[in-house]
Structure 1
Amino acid sequence: MNFFNELKTILKKNIRTYGMFIALFVIMFTFSLLTNGVFMSPRNISNLINSMGYIAVLAVGMTLVIVIRHIDLSVGFLAGFLGAVAAILITRTNLPLPLVIVAVLLLGGLVGLVNGILVARLNIPAFVVGLAGMMIFRGALLQVTSRTGTIIVPSRQFNAIGNGFIPDINILPGYHFVTLLVGALAIAAFVLMEIRNRNTKIRYNFEIPSLPIFVAKLLFISFLIGYVTRILAMYNGLSWTVVIVLIVVTIYHFITNRTVLGRYIYAVGGNPEAAALSGIDVNKITYFVFASMSMLAALSGILYTSRLQSATTTAGTLFELDAIAAAYVGGVSAAGGVGKVTGSIIGALVMASLTSGMNLMGVGISYQYMIRGGILVIAVIFDVMTRNRFAGGH
């Protein structure tokens, strides 16, 4: 089989995985042309990536919730409420910042555990639990911000989480050297990991792509990492928001791909009855996924509050819908059992790119909502059309 025929076959077999990358490339290329290159400017790309951080974190958690065939509508206003709790603890107590962050994350995990118990033990539909949570935390947010309407956060350390950038050592004029170094290390780690995975598959006689295809994949993804790193290095470099998102994605990618817990999550999503019969505790998996979701909602609230440098009465509005859209666009199946956390990040990037591009072009907010809704419908149609043929893997 020649190179192009093999490439065509691989793309066809893995259309769920590669479709979102193609969509992202088309969107970015189109907006770059329509805005005369402004869309791909270092400043805009940096702002775009930083602004999607709080949704990307939510999308990671939502991916696992959808994988096990549930939905959580409470996470938007839960993020807003817990962001306000963080602001109150910082402004009205003398607690150290790390302790505030840990306390808010644990509070989020506790809320999620309660949600998981309601869903798994009491068999209340997750949609209803999420809807109730949405109303409860909307009210709680209004209550804690009722005195002033907006809680200004004066802490420079806290605000740096959403607005600060990693420090540089100023070796290369015009570039953020540390960001370039991090990009180079990321490329090296990616290449070594792919070579190791390929050798493992060869050892166990698994089917693998030919060497030219494998090398082409390494070169293409290394180029993408390098290109994005260079653009960021031409502005202020990597932000702390991006670092946090990368850490979250790395942890969840490891959990879902390298641990027994990850295999159990996909088994429960694929067929809960069969998973239970094979000895998997479906309830415990549900507890973990919902607790994890709400803890990530707490982190999302911290990122958002830090970025605004304040807690507001509208914080969290429609966050859950953006997270659900990012997960579906990123390749999660509406039927459960299929989806990657890395895909949800690409989905979040697709939705953020659409918003950024339309803002640069001056598209009205009403049309923006309609277009984003249309993209979501297309993503679900794509899922339904490909599910039977490509539901074999995650």
Structure 2
Amino acid sequence: MTDTSTDDGTGGGKPNSQAPSRSFINQLEIDLRLLGMLGAFIVVCIVFNVLTDGRFLTPRNIFNLTIQTVSVAIMATGMVFVIVTRHIDLSVGALLATCSAVMAMLQTDWLVGFAGMGLNTPMLAWIAILGGIAVGAGIGAAQGWLVGYQGIPAFIVTLGGLLVWRNVGWYITNGQTIGPLNDTFQLFGGINGTLGVTWSWIVGAVCSVLAVLMLISGRRNKTRHDFPVKPLWAEVVVGAVCVAAIMGLIWVLNSYTIPSRVLERSFAARGETMPEGFSTGYGLPVSVLLLIGVAIVMTAVARKTRLGRYIFATGGNPDAAELSGINTRLLTVKVFAIMGALVALAAVVASARATYHSNDIGTLDELRVIAAAVIGGTALAGGLGTIYGAILGALIMQSLQSGMAMVGVDAPLQNIVVGGVLVLAVWIDIVYRRRLGGQ
């Protein structure tokens, strides 16, 4: 077994006087880009917390920040695959509007009365969601077919899609705002659907255990295949940080208490009287739980499946991938279909959060999604990218926008800052990779 540890008390192997000393960060094997993003996020939070007199880092604002990030973060996980394969998708915001329009019409018009279903029939929401995902995946696959099999550049196909699908959504609804939406559907919007304090702690504990088990499994796999492993103390540190981050987030979300008047209405609806002095928190939003599920699935696809290996191999060297037997054209269709399905899921969150469909939903989301993926470390040259990086990138982007809104920065200037941050992120990525190549 190959081990990177020496006589440092970790029990990893014999002393090796010729082995170069490794820094604390190197022994933890943490990506410097990830550390840079975390540092940038912390700086953004501290600056806006000072500028807003402590209002930015309150439980209420952190709760709002999480639910505002979800829709862009879900799409950013799919954009990682698209950019890794050396393509781009400029149509995601417009496609979100079409998927949202379809799901809204399914709930309020097309399916109402069918098989005795009313607006708030729970099954109606699930049928609408499945319908939206089918539409999103189908449109994504069609765009992927044009790119992969017809040789049209993805930039042109999706630029056309940006114009087409925004207006298809407008025609589906005749330009009208559609709502209110199904009660079950609205559970995915954030404040309308939360797990409560107890279940949030349970989910946090389960996620913490899963994180630790993943670290243990990864270490065992490396050991089994004679790959170098981190010192045991480094694994413990990483695991402790992960658990602290998860449980810390749950604690903050549980600290955001439900207003008394809302609790009173809830008790009254059940024919009960609220106990004097009773209070409880919102807990983990269902939409954030959905994002966690998407992140786990997409990470598993990227790291554990043949499809994921093909995606990164194709992005690294398309010609070599095709010569090795990978059907890169079909792979392109699959990647864009996945992107379309994730856009539909994001449409569920975005429209449920608003409680209605509007024709401007998803406007400029293509900018935010691409920026989140690039800030998160996805290389525009292809072949490199991480799911967790894209989610962190989406969180940084939303923190910037929310902070500027709280400070009173005008919307046009907010978009100027977002565009500037995108260009800066690409420049930093280019410089970073040049330096790595020169080492």
Kindly tell me: are residues 207 and 57 of structure 1, through their superposed partners in 2, closer, same or farther at Cα, counting changes over 3 Å? Answer: same
What is the aligned counterpart of 2:286 among 219, 231, 240? 240
- Once the two structures are TM-superposed, the CA of residue 371 in structure 1 deviates from its matched residue by 2.0
Partner of 2:168: 140
Is the contact made by 1:60 and 1:345 (CA closer than 8 Å) also made in structure 2? yes
Kindly tell me: are residues 97 and 212 of structure 1, through their superposed partners in 2, closer, same or farther at Cα, counting changes over 3 Å? Answer: same
What is the aligned counterpart of 1:207 among 219, 222, 228? 228
What is the aligned counterpart of 2:247 among 226, 229, 236? 226
What is the aligned counterpart of 1:30 among 31, 47, 52? 47
What CA distance in whole angstroms lies between the structure 2 residues aligned with 1:377 and 1:63? 17
What is the aligned counterpart of 1:70 among 87, 92, 117? 87
What CA distance in whole angstroms lies between the structure 1 residues aligned with 2:30 and 2:208? 26
What secondary structure sits across from 1:124 in the alignment? coil
Task: Report the AA paired with residue 58 of structure 2.
Answer: S
What is the aligned counterpart of 1:386 among 432, 435, 438? 432
After superposing the two structures, state which structure 1 stretch, 92-101 or 226-235, moved more. Answer: 92-101
Residues 1:274 and 2:295 are matched in the alignment: no
Q: CA RMSD in A?
A: 2.0
Partner of 1:346: 392
After superposing the two structures, state which structure 1 stretch, 32-41 or 118-127, moved more. Answer: 32-41
Kindly tell me: are residues 155 and 191 of structure 1, through their superposed partners in 2, closer, same or farther at Cα, counting changes over 3 Å? Answer: same
Partner of 2:301: 255
Kindly tell me: are residues 139 and 265 of structure 1, through their superposed partners in 2, closer, same or farther at Cα, counting changes over 3 Å? Answer: same
Task: Report the AA paired with residue 332 of structure 2.
Answer: T
- Once the two structures are TM-superposed, the CA of residue 139 in structure 1 deviates from its matched residue by 1.5
What is the aligned counterpart of 2:329 among 280, 283, 287? 283
What CA distance in whole angstroms lies between the structure 2 residues aligned with 1:197 and 1:167? 31
- Once the two structures are TM-superposed, the CA of residue 208 in structure 1 deviates from its matched residue by 2.2
What is the aligned counterpart of 1:119 among 147, 150, 156? 147
Kindly tell me: are residues 311 and 13 of structure 1, through their superposed partners in 2, closer, same or farther at Cα, counting changes over 3 Å? Answer: closer
Is the contact made by 1:153 and 1:159 (CA closer than 8 Å) also made in structure 2? no
- Once the two structures are TM-superposed, the CA of residue 153 in structure 1 deviates from its matched residue by 2.4
Is the contact made by 1:28 and 1:353 (CA closer than 8 Å) also made in structure 2? yes
After superposing the two structures, state which structure 1 stretch, 39-48 or 190-199, moved more. Answer: 190-199
Is the contact made by 2:78 and 2:338 (CA closer than 8 Å) also made in structure 1? yes
Unaligned runs of 5+ in 2: 1-5, 10-20, 115-123, 257-281
What CA distance in whole angstroms lies between the structure 1 residues aligned with 2:82 and 2:138? 16
Partner of 2:423: 377
What CA distance in whole angstroms lies between the structure 2 residues aligned with 1:37 and 1:216? 30
Partner of 1:189: 210
Task: Report the AA paired with residue 366 of structure 2.
Answer: E
Is the contact made by 1:84 and 1:305 (CA closer than 8 Å) also made in structure 2? no
What secondary structure sits across from 2:23 in the alignment? helix
Residues 1:128 and 2:156 are matched in the alignment: yes
CA deviations on 1:219-264 (whole Å, 9 max, x unpaired) are: 2222111211110111211111111111111111110011111000
Task: Report the AA paired with residue 179 of structure 2.
Answer: I
Structure number with larger C-alpha Rg: 2
What CA distance in whole angstroms lies between the structure 2 residues aligned with 1:191 and 1:332? 26
Partner of 1:7: 24
What secondary structure sits across from 1:152 in the alignment? coil
Is the contact made by 1:82 and 1:298 (CA closer than 8 Å) also made in structure 2? yes
- Once the two structures are TM-superposed, the CA of residue 34 in structure 1 deviates from its matched residue by 2.9
What CA distance in whole angstroms lies between the structure 2 residues aligned with 1:159 and 1:221? 31
Task: Report the AA paired with residue 256 of structure 1.
Answer: A
What CA distance in whole angstroms lies between the structure 1 residues aligned with 2:180 and 2:56? 31
Q: Which has the higher contact order (CA 8 A, sep 6+)?
A: 1
What CA distance in whole angstroms lies between the structure 2 residues aligned with 1:154 and 1:263? 40
- Once the two structures are TM-superposed, the CA of residue 390 in structure 1 deviates from its matched residue by 4.9
- Once the two structures are TM-superposed, the CA of residue 99 in structure 1 deviates from its matched residue by 1.5
Residues 1:160 and 2:177 are matched in the alignment: no
Unaligned runs of 5+ in 1: 169-175
Partner of 2:310: 264
Kindly tell me: are residues 355 and 11 of structure 1, through their superposed partners in 2, closer, same or farther at Cα, counting changes over 3 Å? Answer: farther
Q: Which runs of 4+ in 1 moved over 4 A?
A: 1-5, 10-13, 388-391
What secondary structure sits across from 1:194 in the alignment? helix
After superposing the two structures, state which structure 1 stretch, 306-315 or 59-68, moved more. Answer: 306-315
Residues 1:97 and 2:125 are matched in the alignment: yes
CA deviations on 1:185-221 (whole Å, 9 max, x unpaired) are: 2112111210221122123222222223222222222
Kindly tell me: are residues 194 and 339 of structure 1, through their superposed partners in 2, closer, same or farther at Cα, counting changes over 3 Å? Answer: same
Q: TM-score, normalised by structure 1?
A: 0.92
What secondary structure sits across from 1:310 in the alignment? coil
Task: Report the AA paired with residue 239 of structure 2.
Answer: L
Kindly tell me: are residues 6 and 253 of structure 1, through their superposed partners in 2, closer, same or farther at Cα, counting changes over 3 Å? Answer: same
After superposing the two structures, state which structure 1 stretch, 225-234 or 30-39, moved more. Answer: 30-39
- Once the two structures are TM-superposed, the CA of residue 13 in structure 1 deviates from its matched residue by 7.4
